[in-house]
């Protein structure tokens, strides 16, 4: 699994999710399995099969989450500047074709949420903006073609 850069908040959210899965969901599924087992013949017990399947899915999710946490590298937010675009910068852009302005914050992949303007640094737009300075134009190839953004502002 590759190294994943994230903020302290992103790391804390992963830890909370893992804690919830291990302390709440895992015991609940174990209880469901025990209750289904108590009902008798396991060969025709759909509740038991469903609970065992849910247990397998949950354990898979826990394993993936533990892998992300193990490979997490926290970003030192005090080391971030606004000289050029980098992770955790809030970037104000102008689409040169439509003249429309957008504001994106570049974040780690697991913290991306387009609804609140957070895009991952490993997306085509994120990669195309990295290293650019205010006033520069970024030509970015996206699935629908080429886009051109003028960088109006870089902030924290």
Which residues, 6 or more positions from 126, have their beta carbon under 8 angstroms from its beta carbon? Answer: 104, 106, 119, 120
Contact present, 111 and 100 (Cβ < 8 Å):
no
Contact present, 15 and 73 (Cβ < 8 Å):
no
Model pLDDT, residue 44: 77
For residues 156 and 147, give the distance between their C-alpha atoms in angstroms, rounded to a whole number.
Answer: 24
Contact present, 128 and 139 (Cβ < 8 Å):
yes
pLDDT in tens, 40-50: 777 778 888 89
> 0.85 cut: is pTM over it?
no
Looking at domain 4-74, which of 1.10.287.3510, 3.40.50.12500, 1.10.287.180, 3.30.470.20 is its CATH number? 1.10.287.180
Contact present, 132 and 151 (Cβ < 8 Å):
yes
Q: Which CATH class is domain 77-155?
A: alpha beta
Contact present, 154 and 89 (Cβ < 8 Å):
yes
Question: Where in the chain are the domains?
Answer: 4-74, 77-155
Residues (pLDDT < 50) of the chain are: none
Model pLDDT, residue 124: 93
């Amino acid at each position: 699994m590759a190294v994943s850069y994230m903020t302290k908040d992103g790391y804390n959210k992963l830890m909370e999710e893992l804690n919830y899965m291990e302390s709440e969901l895992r015991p609940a599924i174990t209880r469901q399995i025990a209750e289904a087992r108590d009902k008798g013949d396991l060969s025709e017990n759909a509740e038991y099969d469903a609970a065992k399947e849910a247990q397998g899915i949950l354990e898979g999710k826990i394993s993936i989450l533990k892998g992300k946490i193990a490979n997490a590298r926290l970003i030192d937010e005090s080391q971030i500047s606004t000289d050029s675009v980098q992770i955790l910068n809030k970037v104000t852009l102008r689409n040169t074709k439509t003249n429309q302005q957008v504001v994106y914050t570049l974040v780690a992949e697991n913290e991306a949420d387009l609804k609140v303007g957070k895009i991952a640094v490993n997306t085509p737009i994120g990669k195309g903006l990295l290293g650019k300075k205010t006033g520069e134009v970024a030509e970015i190839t996206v699935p629908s073609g080429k886009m051109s953004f003028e960088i109006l502002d870089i902030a924290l």
